[in-house]
Amino acid sequence: MPPPSVPTRSFSRAEVASHNKDGDLWIIIDAVVYDVSDFAALHPGGESVLLDVAGKDCTDEFYGLHRHAVLQKFGPKYAVGVVSGESPKVLTKVQPGDISRVPYAESSFWMGSKSPYYNETHIAFRKAIRHFVDTELRPHAQEFEENGGKIPIELYQAMGRFGFLAARIGPGPHLKGLKLPGGILPEQFDYFHELIAHEETAALGSPAFSDGLGAGFVIGLPPVLAFGSKELIAKVAPQVLLGNKRICLSITEPTAGSDVANIACTARKTPDGKHYIVNGVKKWITNGHFADYFVTAVRTGPGMGGISVLLIERGEGLGTKPIKTSYSSAAGTAYVTYDNVKVPVENLIGKEGGGFPVIMFNFNHERWAIICAVNRSARLVAEESFKWAHNRKVFGKSLIEQPVIRFKFAKMFSQIEAIQSWLENITYNMTKMSYKEQSATLAGPIALLKYQATRVAHEVSDEACQIFGGRAITKTGMGSIIESFQRTYKYGAILGGSEEIMADLGVRMAMKAFPKDAKL
């Protein structure tokens, strides 16, 4: 059967072969016949490229140079029929939301393995989320990834109505009364549902666009929900969860990154005690350029006990400028300035001088979410590379037939699956532990896993670049996802705590638990 939108008229290969000249140029791609006579002069590679395959089956040549998406986009306009007695053989995602059939393109449960972690609610949830991503987000992803710009609030609101935003900050009271993807009830929702939400966002393969869709929300709203007053939560949370307002976490400064205690942005109370006056700067604030709310770390006194956290609304005295980073401006990475910004004391999150616990509160969750996204991105890169190695012909045979290439995949697959296994183990423990237990037990393992996940991302990027060659350093075309990944995977190695800090934290936590009577 021909694909949808392809005319049902049939042609023999001999008939197609007769259309082999300038002005009368037909080709065959995967059993579908295309009349590209009018397109030939517009072909980016020149008309001669098409004349060389005029009247012929050029399936191999096409897929050696183009992604299938090109055929999906332009094919229907030029398709005139199918080859008699033949049908398309190229494996594609026929429907939005489909699970990939490429080995290791999905984690093991979704490839058919048994798992104690997932149930029917997770299956329904992933199906709904992936369908939403494929139909509502993916059509916009490449445009914003390439050109940048502010993602429309309407798209953010669509995510809010669908329950996508709420699903990215874990189970909790904030889910009450909200619609969740797949018809999941709030009491059914767990951290595995959230893991799926992070993975599906990362699977877009457009990191700036993905981060622009609420990376600031994932780390900005939880401190408000956990430490904000009832009045502050009531004011902020519903608007943010529904996508009507955007929020970010504003902690990092030009001179204070992992060293949170070095924060210099000040907040001084007015004589009447009703407001704080905030002055200072913040840097590399994800979503900051278009955020409405800024969860801001400020200095209200000396030392570690002099750090506080305020919710600051965009307004007079607060300015944002975009920062040009390795990915596009769609992420809204910003330089934030506070110039005598007047903030009501009611916007204090937690206690004055008690900001350090507020800041540390969400670090485990943030790092865990980064692991979810980094490993899913690495998996996407491995899938793209595996497809390419089967498509690409070199020295008269497929690239995958080279032992050195197969060894690269052995490393990629085994490392990605190892990260996934530890991630799911940690996630399971998150579903069984209170926050206090998680802080005591999981901080070290999460730190070590984040370190290992970003090291694996480095290895995967390196191997994929070697497999794709020049296409891996070309922003468009067959290697676009690999190019994007090799340019941006270091975000995960820096944000939320650098690799060095994570490795050291993990070992220090192990040292803390080391039994004093243990001897060789």
Cα–Cα nearest to 132, from 163, 170, 166:
163
Q: Are 467 and 408 in contact (CB under 8 A)?
A: yes
Mean pLDDT calculated for residue range 481-510: 95
Apex CA 127: angle with CA 438 and CA 215, to 5°? 50
Return the SS3 of 18. Answer: coil
C-alpha distance from residue 148 to each of 90, 201, 206, 225, 329 (Å) = 33, 17, 11, 31, 5
Q: Are 395 and 470 in contact (CB under 8 A)?
A: no
**Exposure on the CB side of residue 374, measured as CA atoms within 13 A:** 32
What is the average pLDDT value for the chain, to the nearest integer?
A: 93
pLDDT at 304: 85
Cα–Cα nearest to 194, from 502, 360, 426, 418:
426
Digit-coded pLDDT (tens) for 252-261: 999 887 778 8
Q: Is 455 exposed, middle or buried (0-12, 13-18, 19+ CB in 10 A)?
A: middle
Digit-coded pLDDT (tens) for 480-493: 999 999 999 999 99
pLDDT at 147 over 60: yes
pLDDT at 94 over 70: no
pLDDT at 5: 63
Per DSSP, the residues of 493-512 read HHTTS-HHHHHHHHHHHHHH
Nearest-angstrom CA–CA distance, 250 and 230 = 22
CA pseudo-torsion sign 422, 423, 429, 435: positive
Whole-structure pTM value: 0.91
pLDDT at 7 over 80: no
Residues contacting 339, CB < 8 A, separation 6+: 279, 317, 318, 319
C-alpha distance from residue 97 to each of 126, 127, 323 (Å) = 8, 6, 34
Mean pLDDT calculated for residue range 22-32: 94
Amino acid at 489: Y
- The pLDDT confidence band at residue 500, using thresholds 50, 70 and 90, is very high
Residues contacting 348, CB < 8 A, separation 6+: 276, 308, 309, 310
Return the SS3 of 228. Answer: coil
Digit-coded pLDDT (tens) for 162-174: 999 999 999 999 9
Q: Are 261 and 297 in contact (CB under 8 A)?
A: no
Burial 238-262 (b: 16+ CB within 10 A, else e): eebbbbebbbbbbbbbeebbeebee
pLDDT at 121: 97
Digit-coded pLDDT (tens) for 322-341: 999 999 999 999 999 999 99
Nearest-angstrom CA–CA distance, 314 and 219 = 18
Nearest-angstrom CA–CA distance, 35 and 192 = 48
Nearest-angstrom CA–CA distance, 265 and 282 = 8
Nearest-angstrom CA–CA distance, 403 and 413 = 15
Q: Are 467 and 489 in contact (CB under 8 A)?
A: no
Nearest-angstrom CA–CA distance, 344 and 351 = 14
Strands 79-83 and 10-11: parallel
Apex CA 210: angle with CA 323 and CA 465, to 5°? 85
H helices of 64-206, where? 68-78, 120-132, 138-147, 153-162, 191-202
Nearest-angstrom CA–CA distance, 477 and 471 = 7
Nearest-angstrom CA–CA distance, 81 and 429 = 55
Cα–Cα nearest to 117, from 437, 466, 428:
428
Residues contacting 67, CB < 8 A, separation 6+: 477, 478, 480
Q: Are 495 and 333 in contact (CB under 8 A)?
A: no
pLDDT at 417 over 60: yes
